[in-house]
A and B are shown apart, each in its own frame.
Chain A
Amino acid sequence: MSDVSLVVNGRKVSGSVEDRTLLVHFLRENLGLTGTHVGCDTSQCGACVVHVDGKAVKSCTILAVQASGSEVVTIEGLANGAELHPVQAAFKEHHGLQCGFCTPGMIMSATDMIRRHPEGLDEATVRAELEGNICRCTGYHNIVKAVLAASKTMSKSKGKAKAA
């Protein structure tokens, strides 16, 4: 057993867990943050993507103890009260989801991608950057549209939008 302490969505949390506990299980089972999903056991689908110290990572492929001491942002940490994050709003507007299972990971990847491309995004870049996120429903078209739209909104309202 090890003590794990993290700042999750701005809140200090800690717990004692078995060393083999994956971060995704710590988030879902210890903290009740079930927005982060598990879609595979091969580290390929990206349903589990969260930000650790500002970078998108697969929370199913990192132990909670490895992440201890870090800041974590999950899908639950994006909206500002009832006001959706611009990426969430764009997914809603452009029908970027059907069953919604991949969506938390898609949105966490999209916010990371937008942060890493302050120069703006084009379709080819978005598609290449989404290689670590699998969707079984949408065919990706509307996801790509949503990410492009969100990236435009966020560059227009730079500073106003809550950076994720």
Chain B
Amino acid sequence: MYSLNYHRASSVADAVKLQKKGEDAKFVSGGMTLIPAMKSRLAAPSDLVDLAHIAEMKGIKVSGKTVTIGGGTTHAEVATDAKLKAVCPALSYLASHIGDPHVRHKGTIGGSIANNDPAADYPAAMLALGATIITNKREIAADKFFTGLFETALKDGEIVTGVSFTAPAQAAYEKFRNPASRYAIVGVFVAKGKDGVRVAVTGAGDEGVFRAKGMEAALTKSFVPASLDGLAIPASGLMSDMHASAEYRSSLITVMAKRAVAKASA
């Protein structure tokens, strides 16, 4: 790892100030993506501004069907929060299947969303839930937030302070995991809300997480696995790598989507 200067922020305002001072300063939350990248010298920020001690970015609020999760909330906290589990168990399940227990103790929802790894789990949930991403500057609809591979609508110095969404009537996440890394080879989040069904796919798209609109239309008509018979996302827009070919991913998307619908209806 290259040398760096560490700063601990006490508030969001403090973090913004500290980040501006550094030449090439980066925020660090759980560090579960950034520190490995720095160890392998894929990232070499001049300064690290630690967001992990900012109290205003932590915690989960559930009021009726409205859920708000602080950007600094860890995967373990999302996985085990009883109020969240009562209204949106699909998200608790998703969080409990990220990485391993040690990663979940440190990694945060804000860090995962800001990083937008094409195989990360949370982006699929945010897109399918039609969530709002809250930053220190504005609110951004998930549909406008995830813009490409590791790309988001965030501007330099912008912090994900939280997310909010309305808990759907039915939802489920199904992930076909890479057995070594535990990231998604294909992950599908299905949510049935009052405005219809939304289906988001992670791990597969050439440009990161995306919505499967054909599947959404079919499931809005009838929310049963058989509605997806014969429906497939063409392999042409999907990733091919050592783990899975685009054709295999295409097939997995339909399988995972059907399983998610069955699970959401159970």
Contact = CB atoms under 8 A, between A and B. Distances in A.
A20 B179 CA distance: 31
Interface in A60-107: 60-63, 65-66
Interface string B33-55: 00110111000000010101000
B102 interface: yes
Interface residues of B, number: 29
A38 to B, nearest CB: 11
A9 to B, nearest CB: 19
B182 A131 contact: yes
B262 interface: no
A65 B47 CA distance: 13
B234 interface: no
Contacts, number: 76
A58 interface: yes
Given A43-B35, A62-B106, A66-B31, A2 B6 contact: yes
Main secondary structure of the interface of A (DSSP, over half): mixed
B79 to A, nearest CB: 11
B102 A46 contact: yes
A151 interface: no
Main secondary structure of the interface of B (DSSP, over half): mixed
Given A2-B6, A19-B3, A44-B181, A61 B101 contact: no
A124 B35 CA distance: 31
B31 A19 contact: no
Interface string A107-142: 001001100100000000000010111000000000
Contact of B101 (A2, A20, A42, A112): A112
A66 B52 contact: yes
A55 interface: yes
B5 A19 contact: yes
B100 interface: yes
A43 B3 CA distance: 20
A116 B38 CA distance: 31
B130 interface: no
Nearest to A54: B105
A55 B76 CA distance: 10
Contacts of B253: none
Interface in A35-59: 41-44, 46, 49, 55-58
B232 to A, nearest CB: 31
B28 interface: yes
Contact of B32 (A18, A20, A43, A129): A43
A131 B1 contact: no
Contacts of B180: 44
Nearest to A62: B31
A61 B3 contact: no
Contacts of B168: none
Contact of B4 (A19, A22, A113): A19
A56 B6 contact: no
Given A20-B3, A42-B36, A61-B32, 9 more contacts: A20-B2, A41-B40, A46-B100, A61-B31, A63-B6, A65-B6, A66-B6, A131-B101, A132-B100
